[in-house]
Amino acid sequence: MPDACTFCRIVRGEAEADRVFENDHVVAILDRRPLFPGHVLVLPRGHHETLADLPPREIDPLFGLVRRLAIAIEAALGADGSFVALNNRVSQSVPHLHVHVVPRRRGDGLKGFFWPRHAYPSDEARREIAARIAQALLA
Summarised one tens digit per residue, pLDDT across range 105-135 is 998 888 655 656 678 899 998 889 877 877 8
* Residue 56 resides in a domain: yes
Q: What is the pLDDT of residues 62-110, one digit of tens each?
A: 999 999 999 999 999 999 999 999 999 888 889 999 999 999 999 888 8
Catalytic residue among 48, 96, 98, 100: 98
Q: Which residues pair with 29 in a beta bridge?
A: 19, 41
- With contact defined as beta carbons under 8 Å apart, do 82 and 102 qualify? yes
- Assess whether 98 carries a catalytic annotation: yes
Question: What CATH number does the domain containing 73 carry?
Answer: 3.30.428.10
* Residue 1 resides in a domain: no
Q: In what order do the strands lie in the sheet with 19-22?
A: 19-22, 26-30, 40-44, 99-104, 81-86
Domain of 80, in residue numbers: 6-112
- With contact defined as beta carbons under 8 Å apart, do 98 and 50 qualify? no
Distance of CA 99 to the CA centre of its chain: 2
d(CA 34, CA 29): 11
What pTM, to 2 d.p., does this model score?
0.86
What mean pLDDT value characterizes the chain? 90
**C-alpha dihedral (85, 89, 91, 96), degrees to nearest 10:** 70
